[in-house]
């Protein structure tokens, strides 16, 4: 059990933190240049210089680009029409065509953003060089990224992944406790013992609460040493919230254990809940972009609260006042779930 509890989550953290990345790199680009002018070569050069794009082919007809797109040898093709440079010089405007493989809608949206950024940069340079000066009275935007200035997705993902790993280990291990006693036949001896129901539940819950807190501590150390995640806020606040959060997760595991007759049933029930918790937890998909009916379900998702708290405290440095609502909701969940676990454990006295 020790490798399962400590080693496996650390391996998963290292793998997932490097794999779960919203950045898209090595985008396969096919350029169709029908103008062959200095302007079209300059635009193509800006794509070649970008770390996101890899130009796989350069042709003069769109048929070759479409074949590459259909054969998955290109993610998109950029078509520069004939007279592109002439239209820029004479009419101060020109058109280009961008065709993206949008089977993966999220990836296509990110690619579109990258392409538009490069084209805007190219357009700005052309305005200054060919027009002699920038447009009078034009707006200049100066921006700064707060809380994650380098836009490092590992800073964004690692705290959330830690929440998921602590939840997985806590709910699965705790969910097998009472049902294990049923399978091996020792539950009858416990039922006729003089201990109270709440004492039995506490005894089953407390060891895994300690293990969960230790696992979170080890995960934060590994996250800081390997990924240099920011620890801006109070770690006492993080562990204080985690202490209440683990009562919710472990209480859910125990509740499932009281409802199940075999460990297999308990694990299936736990996996059913965990899939919903993780996918609706805001780790991979922003909660703000979910449908309204889904947001109502998220209100009852403890993972969503902890993921948000981890990011607010570690990256933004938020204090207790900013997460007071999360604390109150989690305390209410902890009381409700553990009360149900105690009440549902049918203990018969001697």
Q: pLDDT for 151-169, tens place per residue?
A: 777 888 899 999 998 998 8
**What phi, psi does 276 have (nearest 5°)?**
-65, -45
pLDDT of residue 136: 45
- Could you read off the pLDDT of 73-92 as tens digits, one per residue? 999 999 999 988 888 878 77
d(CA 172, CA 263): 10
- Domain ranges in the chain are 22-131, 149-344
- Could you read off the pLDDT of 226-239 as tens digits, one per residue? 888 889 999 999 99
DSSP 134: P
pLDDT of residue 46: 92
Residue 346 pLDDT grade (very low, low, confident, very high; cuts 50, 70, 90): low
pLDDT of residue 139: 46
pLDDT of residue 345: 73
User: Regarding the domain with residue range 22-131, which homologous superfamily does it belong to in the CATH classification?
Assistant: abc type-2 transporter like domain (3.40.1710.10)
Q: Does residue 347 or residue 174 have the better pLDDT?
A: 174
| pLDDT of 137 over the 50 cut | no
- Could you read off the pLDDT of 24-65 as tens digits, one per residue? 778 999 999 999 998 889 999 999 998 889 999 999 888 899
pLDDT of residue 47: 92
Least confident of 89-103, 136-150, 197-211: 136-150
pLDDT of residue 284: 79
* Secondary structure (3-state) at 241: helix
* Secondary structure (3-state) at 32: strand
d(CA 109, CA 114): 9
What's the chain's average pLDDT? 84
Q: How many CB atoms lie within 10 A of CB 146?
A: 7
pLDDT of residue 22: 67
- Could you read off the pLDDT of 191-208 as tens digits, one per residue? 777 778 778 778 888 888
- Does residue 273 contact residue 170 with C-beta atoms inside 8 Å? no
Residue 133 pLDDT grade (very low, low, confident, very high; cuts 50, 70, 90): low
| pLDDT of 342 over the 60 cut | yes
pLDDT of residue 141: 54
- Could you read off the pLDDT of 282-341 as tens digits, one per residue? 887 788 878 889 889 999 999 999 999 999 999 989 999 999 999 999 999 999 998 988
Residue 142 pLDDT grade (very low, low, confident, very high; cuts 50, 70, 90): low
d(CA 215, CA 207): 12
For residue 204, give the H/E element and its range.
helix 197-227
- Does residue 282 contact residue 306 with C-beta atoms inside 8 Å? no
């Amino acid at each position: 059990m020790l490798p399962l509890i400590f080693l496996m989550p650390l391996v998963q953290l290292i793998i997932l933190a490097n794999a779960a990345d919203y950045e898209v790199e090595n985008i396969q680009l096919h350029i169709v240049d029908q103008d062959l002018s200095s302007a079209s070569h300059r635009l193509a050069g800006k794509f070649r210089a970008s770390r996101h794009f890899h130009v796989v082919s350069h042709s003069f007809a769109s048929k070759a680009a479409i074949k590459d797109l259909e054969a998955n040898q290109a993610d998109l093709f950029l078509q520069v029409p004939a007279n592109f440079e002439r239209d820029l010089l004479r009419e101060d405007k020109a058109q280009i065509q961008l065709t993206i493989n949008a089977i993966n809608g999220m990836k296509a949206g990110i690619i579109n953003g990258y392409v538009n950024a490069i084209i805007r940069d190219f357009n700005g340079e052309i305005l200054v060089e060919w027009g002699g000066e920038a447009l009078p009275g034009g707006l200049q935007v100066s921006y700064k990224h707060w809380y994650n200035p380098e836009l490092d997705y590992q800073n964004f993902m690692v705290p959330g992944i830690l929440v998921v790993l602590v939840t997985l280990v806590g709910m699965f291990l705790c969910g097998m406790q009472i049902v294990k006693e049923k399978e091996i036949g020792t539950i009858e001896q416990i039922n006729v013992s003089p201990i109270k129901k709440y004492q039995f539940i506490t005894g089953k819950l407390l060891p895994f609460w300690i293990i969960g807190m230790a696992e979170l501590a080890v995960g934060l150390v590994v996250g800081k040493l390997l990924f240099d995640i920011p620890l801006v806020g109070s770690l006492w606040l993080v562990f204080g919230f985690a202490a209440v959060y683990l009562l919710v997760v472990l209480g859910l595991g125990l509740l499932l254990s009281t409802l199940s007759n075999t460990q297999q049933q308990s694990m299936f029930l736990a996996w059913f809940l965990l899939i919903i918790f993780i996918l609706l937890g805001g780790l991979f998909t922003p909660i703000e972009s979910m449908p309204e009916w889904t947001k109502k379900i998220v209100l009852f998702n403890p993972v969503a609260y902890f993921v948000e708290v981890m990011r607010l405290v570690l990256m933004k440095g938020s204090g207790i006042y900013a997460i007071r609502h999360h604390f109150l909701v989690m305390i209410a969940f902890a009381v409700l779930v553990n009360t149900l676990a105690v009440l549902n454990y049918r203990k018969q006295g001697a």
